[in-house]
Amino acid sequence: MQRLFSTFANGWPGKGLLLQRLVTAAVLLFCAFSHLKESPQHVPLILHSLAAVAGMALLFGIWTPIIGVVISLLEVGIIFLHQGDLYVPLLLATIGITLAIIGPGAWSVDARLFGRKHFTIHDR
The pTM for the full model equals 0.78
Q: What is the pLDDT of residue 62?
A: 84
Q: What is the pLDDT of residue 92?
A: 93
Contacts of 124 (CB under 8 A, 6+ apart): none
- In 3D space, the residue among 20, 93, 16, 4 whose CA is nearest the CA of residue 51 turns out to be 93
Residue 41 Rama label (left phi>0; alpha psi -120 to 50; beta): beta
Q: What is the pLDDT of residue 75?
A: 92
Mean pLDDT by 10 residues, the chain (124 residues): 56 82 92 78 80 90 90 92 83 92 76 64 66
Q: What is the pLDDT of residue 1?
A: 46
